[in-house]
Amino acid sequence: MSAFEKEEYEIRIAKVRKSMDEKNIEILIVTDPSNMAWLTGYDGWSFYVQQCVVLTLEGEPLWFGRGMDANGAKRTAFMRHENIIGYADDYVQNPEKHPMDYLSGIFKETSGMPATGASGGAGWAQKTIGVEKDNYYFTASCFESLQKNLPQANFVDATALVNWQRTVKSPRELDFMRKAARIVEKMHARILDVIEPGMRKNDLVAEIYHAAISGVADTSETKGFGGDYPAIVPMTPTGADASAAHLTWDDRPIPNNSGTFFEIAGCYRRYHCPLCRTVYLGTPPQKYLDVEKAVLEGIEAGLEAAKPGNLAEDIAAAWSKTIAKYGYEKDSRCGYPIGLSYPPDWGERTVSFRKGDKTVLEPNMTFHFMPALWFEDWGLETTESILITETGAETLANVPRKLFVKP
């Protein structure tokens, strides 16, 4: 079952086709699983092998992937089954043949693909074809195969073409993200309930995962819902490890008199709500309190700038100007768009909150405002996932914005 009504997928496809037409792209090969899901509803852990959605300027998309995953596409994608094409398993991780060889054969078939309603057949092999060159899932071998087998095609870079169409969320997408926010609230509450000196970090992460996937229970007012796996594993570095942004966990006990930041996300139906908080066991040194003050004031300034008509760089400028008053600076971006995603990243890879990004903020855009600071031997992360509204910014999750201290 697709997560959305067919009409919503049709709206999304129309947006992508408009962009394709503007860029003179006749066929788009979409390999990013987030973009595949956004366009068709396909949802499966199959992105470790070659797969894609093929979109022409008319008709239904084609889903193309490993034969054993075709039934998954039939179960989750909105298209008719004849537009779901599986390749034989001897194409998988075989140095003698590549799945894109098979796809090229489809493009060259004289009979075409009438089920799509598109003008298939030999003409497909001579079209202008967009590919997501700078994408985790589109390998050099994929491109080499297509170029070798379709020598008359004109290949152009369509990296992030679909991603940019995803920036403004629909009401149902926002509903999913608000559910993810309820989950991440529960995750942080569980951390505060169980963390203590001497607890093994892996045991704490197990509690985080349990809270994330068990989701939110029924209440007298609302029906509960379960959680999904996040696109990024919990980042939980302690002490000097917290000077690094992306360390995960091990099985060592958490020492007393140490700070740990938790970069985690709730996830519902592949939609994410990241939220970071820092917990200090014991009495925090003054440096933590000083940075906390600067960060909280900087977040308020950034949120004030997060309104329709302003630019992405305005948020970064407000944040940077505020923390500079306290003698701090951050040379990395402080935010990015979020929504539907698969590993290894929960960002949408388009907008960045940094100097020079002139993207105009619009209502129903969603971002992870990520003004973390890392120092030589420690770090502090306090972040918010935000929705641009008609008048300003709404924080999706409701977790106290502070350094948490457990004496």
What CATH number labels 6-165?
Answer: 3.40.350.10
Cα 174 to Cα 172: distance, rounded to the nearest angstrom: 5
Helix/strand/coil (H/E/C) assignment for every residue in 194-258: HCCCCCEHHHHHHHHHHHHHHCECCCCCCCCECCCCCCCCCECCEHHHHHCCCCCCCCCECCCCE
Sheet arrangement for strand 404-406 = 258-268, 271-281, 404-406
This prediction's pTM? 0.95
**Which residue ranges make up each domain of the chain?**
6-165, 171-406
Determine the pLDDT at residue 220: 77
Q: List the chain residues with pLDDT less than 70.
A: 110-122
Burial annotation 339-378 (CB, 10 A radius, 16+ → b, else e): bbbbbeebbbbbbbbbeebebebeebbbbbbbbbbbeeeb
| Residue 14 tokens, joined | 């129309």
Are 171 and 360 in contact by the 8 Å Cβ rule? The answer is: no
Determine the pLDDT at residue 109: 83
**CATH 3.90.230.10 corresponds to the domain 171-406:** yes
Cα 242 to Cα 301: distance, rounded to the nearest angstrom: 25
Residue-wise pLDDT for 324-341, tens only, equals 999 999 999 999 999 999
